[in-house]
Amino acid sequence: MPDYQARLRALATEKALAIAAYGESVAAYRYRTLGEKTSSHEQRKIFTEMADEEQGHHQRLQALLRRRFPGSDFVLSSEDKELVTVGPRMLEVTDSESFRRAMELIHDSELQTGRFYAGLYESTEYDDLKSFLKEMADECFEHAERLRQIHPLPQ
């Protein structure tokens, strides 16, 4: 299998944006799940805000796709989805250990998605998308750091 950067360079921009939209929808779902499962009012508030932010990203990407690439439609493979997510889409959060595992999956997915956006930033031929892709990469890395502050994660 080609390396990660080679896979990114091989993607058409419209498909890359569809993959990104998928990743944002998964992130929104996962944060909502954590918000529902945590017993901490403070964490519930943080996860709800992060879910809303990810949902906003998803909507921005969908609007960008409709505007820039009308009529584009993709069936994403599991390999496509792995470019922006780690682990299963659905989270099973029933106790403190499964909560810890869910936090690790979300953290690792934020890093993966950040690398995805950063790679697209480097390879895109559309100069007007660069600032958007940079902003999205930075936000993913910020989310990963925020998760570390909420709940200690292994290095």
Give pLDDT, residue 1: 45
**In a domain? residue 118:** yes
Candidates 4, 10, 150, 12; CA nearest to 84 is 4
Comparing 126 with 56, which gets the higher pLDDT? 56
**In a domain? residue 126:** yes
Task: Give the residue-averaged pLDDT of 16-28.
Answer: 96
Q: How many helices (H) and strands (E) does the chain have?
A: 6, 0
Give pLDDT, residue 2: 63
**In a domain? residue 25:** yes
Query: Does residue 113 surpass a pLDDT of 70?
Result: yes
**In a domain? residue 155:** no
User: Total structural domains in the chain?
Assistant: 1
**In a domain? residue 132:** yes
CA–CA distance, 132 with 135 (Å, rounded to integer): 5
Mean pLDDT, the chain, rounded, equals: 91
Give pLDDT, residue 28: 97
Q: How confident is the model at residue 154 (pLDDT cuts 50, 70, 90)?
A: low
Range of the domain at 34: 4-150
Candidates 60, 42, 43; CA nearest to 102 is 43
What proportion of the chain, given as a percentage, has pLDDT over 70? 96
pLDDT in tens, 136-146: 999 999 999 99
Q: How confident is the model at residue 153 (pLDDT cuts 50, 70, 90)?
A: low
CA–CA distance, 79 with 120 (Å, rounded to integer): 17
**In a domain? residue 11:** yes
Domain containing 132 — which CATH number?
A: 1.20.1260.10
Query: Does residue 18 surpass a pLDDT of 90?
Result: yes
- pTM for this structure? 0.92
**In a domain? residue 70:** yes
Q: How confident is the model at residue 155 (pLDDT cuts 50, 70, 90)?
A: low
Task: Give the residue-averaged pLDDT of 33-61.
Answer: 94
**In a domain? residue 8:** yes
CA–CA distance, 52 with 112 (Å, rounded to integer): 20
Residue 64: enclosing H or E segment and its boundaries?
helix 41-68
